[in-house]
């Protein structure tokens, strides 16, 4: 499995929270554990996981997001671990929807961190995840550093 930065795991865990019983997220999608999307063709009412299983699936999902992010054209331009983690978390949260963030991704490739920050916060995604998470990730891109 791909090595997971503990800071990335902590940020994702804090932002997602863990629910051990299946639920529908803000978009009406069946979800379980640490934000894991389930097969939407099934009714998951009453389905539960153990904490250990939820943690295992979270780690698999993070590793998958890291691998996906590392294959992106803009990834080599992410010049700090903080910026790399920001994009990995975006991929974890959005999955392939990240591909549609063309202006933000282009700003990353140019090293225009202000534009990357601004484009991210101008998106509808900001409303989906809320101001705390969106501002944190946008600031990771802007500064390239974790707050002290």
pLDDT in tens, 41-57: 999 999 999 999 999 99
CATH number, domain containing residue 78: 1.10.530.40
How many domains would you assign to the chain? 1
Residue 79, SS3? coil
21 pLDDT above the threshold of 70: yes
pTM of the model: 0.93
1 belongs to a structural domain: no
2 pLDDT above the threshold of 80: no
Contacts of 108 (CB under 8 A, 6+ apart): 74, 77, 78, 83, 87, 116, 141
- Where in the sequence is the domain holding 112, given as residue range(s)? 6-143
129 belongs to a structural domain: yes
């Amino acid at each position: 499995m791909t090595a997971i930065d503990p800071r990335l795991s902590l940020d994702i865990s804090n932002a997602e929270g863990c629910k051990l019983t299946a639920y529908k997220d803000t978009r009406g999608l069946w979800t379980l554990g640490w934000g894991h999307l389930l097969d939407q063709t099934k009714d998951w009412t009453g389905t539960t996981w153990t904490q250990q299983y939820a943690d295992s699936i979270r780690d698999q999902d993070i590793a998958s997001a890291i691998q996906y992010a590392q294959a992106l054209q803009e990834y080599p331009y992410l010049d700090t671990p903080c910026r790399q983690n920001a994009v990995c978390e975006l991929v974890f949260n959005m999955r392939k929807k990240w591909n549609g963030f063309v202006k933000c991704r282009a700003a990353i490739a140019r090293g225009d961190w202000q534009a990357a920050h601004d484009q991210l916060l101008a998106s509808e995604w900001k409303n989906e995840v809320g101001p705390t998470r969106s501002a944190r990730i946008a600031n990771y891109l802007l500064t390239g550093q974790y707050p002290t």
